[in-house]
Amino acid sequence: MAELTYRDAVSAGIAQEMRRDHNVVFLGEDIAAAGGVFKATTGLLDEFGPDRVKDTPISEQAIVGAAMGAAMTGLRPIAEIMFSDFFAVCWDLVANQIAKTRYMTDGQCSFPLVIRSANGGGSRFGAQHSQSVENWAMAIPGLKVVAPSTPADVKGLLAASVRDPDPVMFFEQKSLYATKGEVPDDEHVEPLGKARVLRDGGDVTIAALAAMVPRAERAAKMLAQDYGISAAVIDVRSLVPLDTTTILEHVGKTGRLVTVEENPRLCGWGAELASIVAEEIFWDLDGPIVRVTTPHIPLPSADALEDAALPSAERIVAAVRQLVD
């Protein structure tokens, strides 16, 4: 095991797959010589050379279009969109071409590609560079959607995404890039569609994603220490496919569910999870399903306003206490 930052785990995961499979190529804006704007891809150009690690023009349509064509011809491209907000620029290619062509050609064209992007708030980049957009991708049939919270999951889930036969949207929460954790030195692959139970509990289940996971863990510790409330914490990790089995099992035991979402409240992933829980195990619930979210607003850039908008451990504690009490 080595202790890596979240950003170093990105390059470790890409390098692992590029060493394993020479059909894996990597392209994006400033990802080669500069090592990425968040320094998450340093060293890859030196090891794999300009034929496999390619800087592109500042054009999201060009990046995604080139990745689509490469996948259709037998390569396994990894494409980087610098900020997930910029998916709005190339969404036609993602939603109408990449997501649908395998189905529309009856499998004659496949798309084993990964589109990585820095996602979410917490870094004071303002409304056009801080959106949490995984729910955009979740709404499109044909796309798989992954959002890791730890360096080990970055490496393992990125490897699984590269090996997957379908297009995967891989969201890296930018405020986590500096966080550290132990990462296996050898080949590491985590299965897509499998949630991780981080903490067991009997009173309430808290389901969280990406940067909201460590906040949910802090909230669970506060609930146990200060109020005697036992909270299970689940890192959802993968939205498509979604591990409903693990989530339903734990909600069935605790009788209560709180989702913690960085998305704006309207149509967030927790709303879908709440719908599934209510449909599948309604009679096991001991109270309403509660969603802790960002308000339905553009995210502010001012420190105090951004902090107030994003879910905090204190807001999670308050929501759980109101539910359990």
From 22, 129, 188, 250, active-site residue: 129
- Report the SS3 class of residue 90: coil
Whether 129 is catalytic: yes
CB 44 within 8 A of CB 10: no
CB 237 within 8 A of CB 147: yes
Q: How confident is the model at residue 17 (pLDDT cuts 50, 70, 90)?
A: very high
Rg of the chain, C-alpha, whole Å:
19
Distance CA 262, CA 251 (A): 21
> pLDDT tens digit string along 209-257?
999 999 999 999 999 999 999 999 999 999 999 999 999 999 999 999 9
| 259-269: average pLDDT | 96
| 261-287: average pLDDT | 97
Does the structure show a pLDDT above 90 at 105?
A: yes
Residue with tokens 């689940």: 234
Structural domains in the chain, sorted by start: 2-183 (3.40.50.970), 196-324 (3.40.50.920)
> pLDDT tens digit string along 167-178?
999 999 999 999
What is residue 290's predicted lDDT score, i.e. its pLDDT? 98
What is residue 256's predicted lDDT score, i.e. its pLDDT? 98
Q: Name the token pair of 205.
A: 């289940």
> pLDDT tens digit string along 279-305?
999 999 999 999 999 999 999 999 999
Q: What is the DSSP letter of 292?
A: E
> pLDDT tens digit string along 56-87?
999 999 999 999 999 999 999 999 999 999 99
Give the DSSP H or E segment for 199.
Answer: strand 196-199
